[in-house]
Chains A and B, each alone.
Chain A
């Protein structure tokens, strides 16, 4: 049990729609990252939030956006959904930069039809 919780666990959306995924980080962790894991692949870094500011972004288009709240929980928003957005979306939390471990939640399975 990592203490990182994500919701919803599964959802199905139609191409062109928008989706919001939520994450509660482990207690004491002020850094949240989001990853996309396509079937049969390793997770890919989308972006990271540290103390409510985005402080790093992977190779994802602007329709992938996020928020971090004062309690360090976070949201991932994806607009104009495409079929290729179907994947497991993982939230990870840690205590910040430097030497510390990174724990993942169980993920949200998104299917775009």
Chain B
């Protein structure tokens, strides 16, 4: 079993739709949770990060963490064609090295 599971998609939605991206993880030692956006042939860009269960909002983006279920989500409201990219969840623990464990990434396309 992978430490972090993420549906690779691809996911295609119309412009303006609400997008839900999800990951599950297996290790309860994980304590911080990040979402990265990666455009084709570019490095990952940090979108959101959080350390606790609950919701964190930043503009059109909301990150949600449920530690009891080991489940994290990223919601994108009013999606735009420029949101078309691969979205990566990344999870880490505070002990030792700052090692991030990534999901496979979900490829998202927003259609005008």
Contact = CB atoms under 8 A, between A and B. Distances in A.
A66 interface: no
Nearest to B95: A97
B46 A101 contact: yes
A35 B111 CA distance: 31
A56 interface: yes
Contacts, number: 78
B46 A99 contact: no
B32 A99 contact: yes
A107 B101 contact: no
Interface string B59-97: 000000000000000000000000000001010001011
A100 B94 CA distance: 10
A107 B104 CA distance: 17
B46 A45 contact: no
B16 interface: no
Given A43-B44, A107-B43, A56 B104 contact: no
A69 B62 CA distance: 38
Contacts of B88: 42-43
B25 to A, nearest CB: 12
A105 B42 CA distance: 9
Contacts of A107: 42-43
28 contacts: A2-B46, A33-B98, A41-B105, A42-B104, A43-B44, A48-B97, A55-B96, A55-B97, A56-B98, A58-B99, A88-B41, A90-B44, A97-B96, A97-B97, A98-B94, A100-B98, A101-B46, A102-B34, A102-B98, A103-B46, A104-B36, A104-B44, A104-B45, A104-B46, A105-B43, A106-B42, A106-B43, A107-B42
**5 shortest interchain CB distances as A-B pairs:** A56-B97, A42-B102, A106-B43, A104-B43, A48-B97
